[in-house]
Amino acid sequence: MKLQLLDNWTFKASDEQEWLPARVPGCVHTDLLRNDKIQDPFYGTNEHDLQWIDKQDWEYETSFEVSDELMAESRLELVFDGLDTYADVYVNGKAVLAADNMFRSWKIDVKERLVPGSNHIRIVFRSPIQEDLPKLEKLGYALPADNDQSEVGGLGEKKVSIFARKAPYHYGWDWGPRFVTSGIWRECRIEAWSEAVIRDVFIHQEQVTASVARMKAVVTVEVNDDFDGTLIVTTAGQKWERKTQLTGGSNTIELAMEIKEPKLWWCRGLGEPNLYEFRAELQAEQRTVSHASVRTGLRSVRLVQEADQAGTSFYIELNGTPVFAKGANHIPNDSFLTEVTAERYRHEIASAAESNMNMLRVWGGGIYEEDIFYELCDENGLMVWQDFMFACSMYPGDEAFLNSVRLEAEENVTRLRNHPSIVLWCGNNEIDSAWAHYDEKAGWGWKQQYSNDIREKLWRDYEAIFHEILPEAVGRCAPGAEYWPSSPLVSLSRDKNQHANPETTSGDIHYWGVWHNNEPFDNYNVYVGRFMSEYGFQSFPEPKTVRTYAGESDMELESKVMLAHQKNGAGNHLIKSYMDQYMHEPKDFTSFLYMSQMQQAEAMKTAIEAHRRNKPYCMGTLYWQMNDCWPVASWAGMDYLGRWKALQYVAKRSFRDVCLAVEQKQEEGIVSVHLISDVSAPIEGILRLELISFEGKELHALSLPVQVNAQAALIVYQTQVDELLSGHNPSSVVLRVELELEGDVADSKDHYFVTDKHLLLQTPDITVREVQGNGGTVVIVESNVFARQVWLSSEQEGIFSDNFFDLIPGKPKKISFSSRHSSETAFIPASPGTVKVFSMADCIHSESLAAR
């Protein structure tokens, strides 16, 4: 096959005359910005001034040469990997294609339309708003779409996002802006071929164990005419072949394969993510007519749901081993998808791996991600929970819409099915629990807005998509893959027991009592389900990031800019409300930003460790959310610019494969130390406990041998709080617990007997000095008095080995720095440059500080 990329595009509004340079892949918004036609969409309140863009039609065009060599081929196909969204394509003035689904690719043979020499392509992108408003009017009633920010777009209550097969978050979300884009958002090209072409190679893994992998290569071949040849598949020095007789059109060839003692693909913490590259060749008369390669990992995956005394389990079993899933929910990395570079993907996945995660959930309000995202997850041993792109809405059920969904599902499952990282396909985000069809008292109040007839119709339409079309697509295109209809869900019982709530003992749970309901942090210890697939707490980005969208006059909580960059209506109020409850009062707004991150980290530490302590009852913890699509106050652990918040460092510590967690039960007056292991071998070590004053004096010390079985969690020490404190002021002491394995400290946790608001902090003198012989990449940090939440801020972009940590006098901490790098290696040891250091004491009013 010969390829010719299409470039040199220009664009304009359909009702204007001036053509401007365009970048493809790209979108209208970014092209307007590059041509200085609009201001930075992310700055200040500019979002509100740019809502006119999605009401217009836009046109893109290019001219290109077709060589005689290309024209000599039998087939010349125009291929678009992605058109966003309603697009009419013209080749040399003739209409050839009408697209209506952002999530699909589009291909058409244009040989009869092309001529030798110069050719012309024009694409008219119809406004998704103008396209879909008539559908809403025709339907006669609104469909629920709570996160569609139609009012920002000047549409009032007219929510049209549900009609378009387009990234839902483009219409706004409670962490993202409303930028309804149009454009050529993935690669476009001419593909030329004659005799035959391999369209797809699927390595169907029928049985995979440590001793043998039995598979079949399922190879899709398209030929012009009848064709006799040989299919050859090779990998890792092994070879299989089969004679073939193909007829004109599309053909499927199956070839059985077997590998003895395969190198299995494992997620992080359980083994190496081994990968095999399979090359398929179609030969005729000793020559290669077409070839294709795919990379996959050999593994067995099962979603285990088995009845037990408490309810029903819910966990991923990988190669026969139960896996406790640790990670976060992933959203698109940008409101403008084509701005996400390979380096940004590497940074995100490397950050997840560095944070000891083993799973990311690709949430259903974004996109089926780029190939590089899954390739990086494959390489780094990160499992993927993959949603289909439906979230927090009810959808139409007309024939055209359902057929579009069917084609979208089949194509994306086919495209992604070889990735070993994808361990679960999920129909949608939160729709089952939001509608709660079988329980009149449950749900988000949606169904009560409709007559019984309409309610039944909407539920039939829901079931057609999520209980029929999508599972059938998974079963047909990726046989053996696991499918879960909606997250969260108890089971597909088709009665009131189907719908999840924080107290269910089966299925997965989204727990939002802490945050949305203003419940106390301690409720994270109460509402622990079998698999916690969503929960979260907000913070602001660091001041350096905030200043990329706000001026100094905007640096206050209720300014127009801060409110514009807080998409959760009650968000700023909730951050402050929790801060009033748990933290000292910040002395200024910059301190407020910093302390919001500390508060978020403390909330998520409480949740993560509660989930892990309850293993194996609970077998998964995926917080909301990993990343941001623009600079904003949100639930992310890593801001839009890739800067780690305090949460990301807490996740790294709390997700360690072998981990300590300290639990204090206030009513019982008991403190317990838990030892948690996610590794496949027993652990034996030494537990050391020290009660230390804020001046650094050791008040109590204890060492004892501890052990835990493989993949287990248990209490290794427990005592009365009063006995441990022995009369010492709980506001001025810290309990440090350390686990020593083979002479090294494997984990260390600090525990406080009161909330941060009641700690008697002093102003510390913190020093940072370089360790000689390390090129400035390693520093020693120490303090003269106890310092809470020490934040190191680097001149260079990158990450520290630890940050937002506590310092005890006489216990210096060695920290290394890695810069963010654009090469294949995301993080490289480097000098951080000038390091600024802050702690909680620097951010609170002086009257809150204890006297020395």
Where, residue-wise, is CATH 2.60.40.10 in the chain?
195-296, 761-852
Q: Which of 162, 78, 165 is nearest to 123 (CA)?
A: 78
CATH assignment of 2-190, given 1.10.287.3510, 3.40.50.620, 2.60.120.260, 3.40.640.10?
2.60.120.260
pLDDT of residue 206: 97
Q: What is the pLDDT of residues 620-673, one digit of tens each?
A: 999 999 999 999 999 999 999 999 999 999 999 999 999 999 999 988 899 999
Please tell me the CATH code under which domain 761-852 is placed: 2.60.40.10
At residue 1 the predicted structure's pLDDT band, cuts being 50, 70 and 90, is confident
pLDDT of residue 532: 98
pLDDT of residue 848: 75
What would the mean pLDDT of 567-580 be, rounded to a whole number?
95
Q: What percent of the chain has pLDDT over 90?
A: 97
Q: What is the pLDDT of residues 22-61, one digit of tens each?
A: 999 999 999 999 999 999 999 999 999 999 999 999 999 9
Q: What is the pLDDT of residues 73-111, one digit of tens each?
A: 999 999 999 999 999 999 999 999 999 999 999 999 999
Where, residue-wise, is CATH 2.60.120.260 in the chain?
2-190
What would the mean pLDDT of 383-402 be, rounded to a whole number?
98
Q: Is 70 exceeded by the pLDDT of residue 852? A: no
At residue 851 the predicted structure's pLDDT band, cuts being 50, 70 and 90, is low
Mean per-residue pLDDT of the chain:
96
Helix axes 470-477, 399-416, angle to 10 degrees: 30
pLDDT of residue 824: 74
378: helix, coil or strand? helix
What would the mean pLDDT of 738-743 be, rounded to a whole number?
94
Q: Is 70 exceeded by the pLDDT of residue 225? A: yes
* pTM for this predicted structure: 0.97
Report how far residue 596's alpha carbon sits from residue 540's, in angstroms, rounded to the nearest whole number.
6
Report how far residue 803's alpha carbon sits from residue 656's, in angstroms, rounded to the nearest whole number.
15
CA atoms within 13 A on the CB side of 289: 22
Q: Is 70 exceeded by the pLDDT of residue 802? A: yes
Topology (CATH) of 195-296: Immunoglobulin-like (2.60.40)
At residue 320 the predicted structure's pLDDT band, cuts being 50, 70 and 90, is very high
DSSP string, 61-78: EEEEEE-HHHHTSSEEEE
Sheet strand arrangement including 383-387: 483-484, 422-426, 383-387, 359-362, 325-330, 620-623, 532-534, 509-510
Report how far residue 251's alpha carbon sits from residue 246's, in angstroms, rounded to the nearest whole number.
7
pLDDT of residue 56: 97
Tokens 């836009």 sit on residue: 58
757: helix, coil or strand? helix
What would the mean pLDDT of 520-549 be, rounded to a whole number?
97
What would the mean pLDDT of 16-25 be, rounded to a whole number?
97
Report how far residue 637's alpha carbon sits from residue 623's, in angstroms, rounded to the nearest whole number.
9
What would the mean pLDDT of 254-266 be, rounded to a whole number?
97
Q: Of 634-638, 775-779, 825-829, where does the model show the most confidence?
A: 634-638
